[in-house]
Amino acid sequence: MYEDEKLICEDCGCEFVFTAGEKEFFAQKGLVNTPKRCSNCRKQRRHNRNKRKKMYEVNCSECGILTKVPFKPVEGKEVFCKDCYKKHKVESQHVASI
């Protein structure tokens, strides 16, 4: 059903292939636009975007380890490290399903 398509990266000008598998993945996710950048330029763009985010150091409200979060912590609100956040998310999903 899907066929490979050759595209030109708008950043570096290199030719890249938008594969049939990628097209199928895009369709499953409801994405309708074809990529404008090759995979290397997309990776570089993501890296640069993530580098610009200001990170805030805070101690996890549960385990107390020092962690970094991409938002300014508000006094009186709990902030969790990645592991504790995942644990709380799983627990809240379990409670919601009961």
Q: Amino acid letter at 56?
A: Y
Residue-range definition of the domain harbouring residue 76: 56-97
Query: Given this model, what pLDDT does residue 49 score?
Result: 80
Residues 76 and 89 in one domain: yes
17-56 burial, b for 16+ CB within 10 Å, e for fewer? ebeeebbeebeeeeeeeebebbeebeeeeeeeeeeeeeee
Q: What is the pLDDT of residues 13-45, one digit of tens each?
A: 999 999 999 999 999 999 999 999 999 999 999
Most confidently predicted of 61-65, 87-91, 93-97: 61-65
Tally of domains in the chain: 2
Residues 45 and 61 in one domain: no
Query: Given this model, what pLDDT does residue 19 score?
Result: 96
Residues 9 and 47 in one domain: yes
The DSSP bridge partners found for residue 7 are 16
Residues 77 and 89 in one domain: yes
Residues 48 and 60 in one domain: no
Cα–Cα distance, 13 to 38 (Å, whole number) = 9
Q: What is the pLDDT of residues 51-86, one digit of tens each?
A: 777 889 999 999 999 999 988 999 999 999 999 999
